[in-house]
Structure 1
């Protein structure tokens, strides 16, 4: 038992060293509870993008973990986009911020864990100017006119990538 804990600690140190170049994430979280194979679990919800990140260990050595983004509600109006981090080339060098790192160990193989990195592209959008009553208001006609003119404000973008870390169990 002690030997397996030492192995797990060594693997965690090795996996953190592998991504030592990553900056500290904006959200600090502990390692998730180990998950059994075949059990779908929610990793994180991103309300701005109307998305819920889900995953499950498959028990298949070829593809040990399935990861997907699901829409939270049909009626939800997204205020941000969620994209694949590999296609977006999300990195600090490209202006992205590491928002969150989620580590989920396998219940069947504690030395193996799925690691989801969520990046956020910061947008510098100024709030609307105050009107005569001191209120910040957005009028539909003004927004529609701006959209027709092609003067759309940038929206936040989130990118998610999943990797497997640690040793595969036999």
Structure 2
């Protein structure tokens, strides 16, 4: 009997499971600003902070990563983007951060990714998708610019409210 090895192909994650798996984060104190995630394609860093306020217990901000960064994707506010699996967005990451003063309460940030529309760029002999400056200039002059992938993040707070 001969066994044939079949290479495993990357299967897309189910819509309710994120593409990236990560453990629950380190508990954070009220007022301590912390980085949740870098999104290098969009030149964006997600920062969070527990506020200690009942109306808005956690604050999420998208901060530009560097002024010299050239984005290959766009970051959109969740209210504007309204990400969902039904709208073609893919759940990319779920970040859970417990409150140090109240461990039963967690900030939950869901990072969504919407792939660029259209065909993927052609790959060269080394398997790399390369974009050459002169070709990109010609495509831009002709108005043939591909849509960029997009990212967005939704914030939720889970767990019971803790006494002050």
Q: Unaligned regions of 5+ residues in structure 1, if any? A: 1-20
* Preserved CA contact (<8 Å) 2:28 2:100: yes
Matched, 1:154 2:147: yes
Residues matched between the structures, number:
148
- The alignment's TM-score, normalised by the length of structure 1, stands at 0.79
Q: Unaligned regions of 5+ residues in structure 2, if any? A: 1-13
Aligned-residue offset at 1:135: 8.8
Who is 1:120 aligned against? 113
Correspondences of 1:91-170 after superposition (within 5 Å): 91-123=84-116, 124-128=118-122, 130=124, 138-170=131-163
- RMSD over equivalenced CA pairs, Å: 2.3
- The alignment's TM-score, normalised by the length of structure 2, stands at 0.81
Per-residue deviation, residues 66-120 of structure 1 (Å, max 9, x unmatched):
1101111111111110112232121111111000000101011111111100001
Aligned-residue offset at 1:161: 1.0
More helix by share: 1
* Preserved CA contact (<8 Å) 2:15 2:90: no
* Preserved CA contact (<8 Å) 2:37 2:45: yes
SS in 2 for 1:53: strand
Per-residue deviation, residues 114-164 of structure 1 (Å, max 9, x unmatched):
110000112254224659xx9975443332222122211121111111111
